[in-house]
Amino acid sequence: MNMLMHFPKCFAAFRWVMLLCGGLALAPSLAMGQALPPQLYSEMDGIHFLDDGSSVTIWGYGWVTDGFITLPGPLLTYNEGQSVDLNFVNPSPESHTIHLHGLDVDQANDGVPATSFLVPTGGDAVYSFVADQAGTFLYHCHVTTTLHLTMGMYGMILVKRPDQTLFEGGPAYTEDAPFLFSDLEVATNLDPVGSFPFHDIRPDVFMINGKQGSQLEAEDERVWSAPGDTVALRLGSMAYSRVRCHFPPELHAVCHMSDGRALPESFAVDSLDIFPGERFTILVAPEEGFEGAVSCDYWNMIDPGIEDTQHIHFGALPSSVQALGDFGAACGYPNPASRWYHPAGAASGASNGFEGEVVVTDAQGRECFRGVLQNGRLDVSAWPNGAYVARCGDRQPTRFVVAH
């Protein structure tokens, strides 16, 4: 843990500079053009669009290099055994933290203000830990948690193994499909100051990865699988509701992990309850041509009853896409990507030793990019949302997603 106070109180101007410069102002020791280490920041003036076209204010996390926050926050991906320094800067008007939910970090890095530390306005911090267990985890702010969570300050963490197995001795799979359940109360998000008392919060918007209804039917929100694919559904909940997922038999769903630990015995699953803060890893092997959905009921925890149902939609990829390659350990970063994607796996901007030609194709096999990487990264900020395949010379092709 290392908390530094670098910034003046005039953070409004600071924020402007930060966003304008894509974060370079945060690291004066770095020369212009030199890439920054990935750094999360928090903000309290985000806008989130709901399925009906209306919008609510959100508080949340984003990458400094992106310059905007998202709901949920960025997916954080680490390798099993990796020593992590998670950089965080808080230019927002209130103090925040990052609690690394389920990673069993020590007290100093736990993100609880009373027992760890606050990151005040204008402050920054480094959360240090070892990602010693593969699995699905969460992160969220632990300041006035009841309010800060419903406002949107949360995200998912994946700790992966390089051999693309779920855990040591566990099953292999083709790709990850992370889904974070959450909900919010519109009245609270529109007027957080007036949200007291907190025990009255009753969500009325129910989301998967921040999306709902027809938003989840979009092509880039679906799980696309080719014949023979085994997809790891990484399910986690930051909701106030209990989420009951119903898996169609065509998915052949098997539950292997919960809360970042292998289960003593995996089991076939047709429905599964996920309570707030829980995570499950489900392997699905969709039957060829399957196009359906996992339906997810949001149950009121206080007065039991179904409040809403959302869906995780599946689509079938043509078999020609599967033939593009034997997808091994994905090494690109970040995935999903919204602005920059590092096909060779180096988040810091180096090319991870790869200097050759990179070829990227979309889910239909159409070539989108061919060339040598500049600073080890692709600018995907103008690319359509969707799944892509990157080939770096003789290396195993990797699949990644662009999501804006």
Partner 1 sequence: MWLALAILGPIEVHAQTTPDTLWIQLNEVTLAGDTMPALRFCPSMDWDTVNVSFYVNVGQSYEVVVFNGDSVDHGFELGVAGWSAVNLPAGESTVVELPELLEGSYRYGLSSERGRVLGAAGVIVAGFDALPHFHWNLGDWEPARMWGVANGGAVDPEAPYVPRQFTVNDRIFPNTLNDPFGHVQIGVGTSCYITIANQGSMDHVLHFHGFHVEVLQASQHPERVGWTKDTMPFLQGEVTVVRLDAFQAGMYPVHNHNLIAVTNAGLYPGGMITHLNIAP
183 contributes a contact to partner 1 by CB under 8 A: no
What residues does 371 pair with on adjacent strands? 358
Specify the stretch interacting with partner 1 by CB under 8 A; choose among 3-11, 220-228, 301-309, 314-322: 301-309
Give residue 351's region: left, alpha or beta (phi > 0; psi -120 to 50). Answer: alpha
Q: Which of 55, 115, 319, 374 binds partner 1 (CB under 8 A)?
A: 115
Nearest distance, CB of residue 133 and partner 1, angstroms:
9
Report the b/e string of 365-404 with b at 16+ CB within 10 A.
Answer: eeebbeeebebbbbebeebeebbbbbbbeebebbbbbbbb
Q: Are 385 and 367 in contact (CB under 8 A)?
A: no
Q: Which of 112, 254, 324, 403 binds partner 1 (CB under 8 A)?
A: 112
Report how far residue 161's alpha carbon sits from residue 164's, in angstroms, rounded to the nearest whole number: 5
Toward partner 1, which CB reaches closer, 19 or 84? 84
Q: Are 248 and 294 in contact (CB under 8 A)?
A: yes
Closest CA to 201 of 92, 98, 301, 70: 301
Report the b/e string of 272-283 with b at 16+ CB within 10 A.
Answer: bebebebbbbbb
266 contributes a contact to partner 1 by CB under 8 A: no
Q: Is 310 exposed, middle or buried (0-12, 13-18, 19+ CB in 10 A)?
A: buried
Nearest distance, CB of residue 166 and partner 1, angstroms:
15
Specify the stretch interacting with partner 1 by CB under 8 A; choose among 154-162, 269-277, 306-314, 347-355: 269-277
288 contributes a contact to partner 1 by CB under 8 A: no
State the binding string over 121-160 for partner 1 (x if CB under 8 A, else -). -----------------------xxxx-xx----------
Toward partner 1, which CB reaches closer, 65 or 136? 136
Specify the stretch interacting with partner 1 by CB under 8 A; choose among 47-55, 105-113, 205-213, 332-340: 105-113
Is beta strand 39-49 parallel, antiparallel or unpaired with respect to 378-379? Answer: unpaired
Q: Which of 160, 222, 234, 242 binds partner 1 (CB under 8 A)?
A: 242
Q: Are 150 and 185 in contact (CB under 8 A)?
A: yes
Toward partner 1, which CB reaches closer, 57 or 146? 146
Measured CA distances, 321 to 164, 252, 354 (Å): 19, 22, 24
Q: Which of 264, 326, 367, 382 binds partner 1 (CB under 8 A)?
A: 264
Toward partner 1, which CB reaches closer, 213 or 276? 276
Q: Which of residues 186-205 bind partner 1 (CB under 8 A)?
A: 196-201
Q: Which of 15, 101, 160, 222 binds partner 1 (CB under 8 A)?
A: 101
Toward partner 1, which CB reaches closer, 62 or 102? 102
| Binding residues vs partner 1 (CB under 8 A) | 99, 101-102, 104-108, 110, 112, 114-115, 144-147, 149-150, 196-201, 240, 242, 258-261, 263-264, 267, 273, 275-279, 301-304
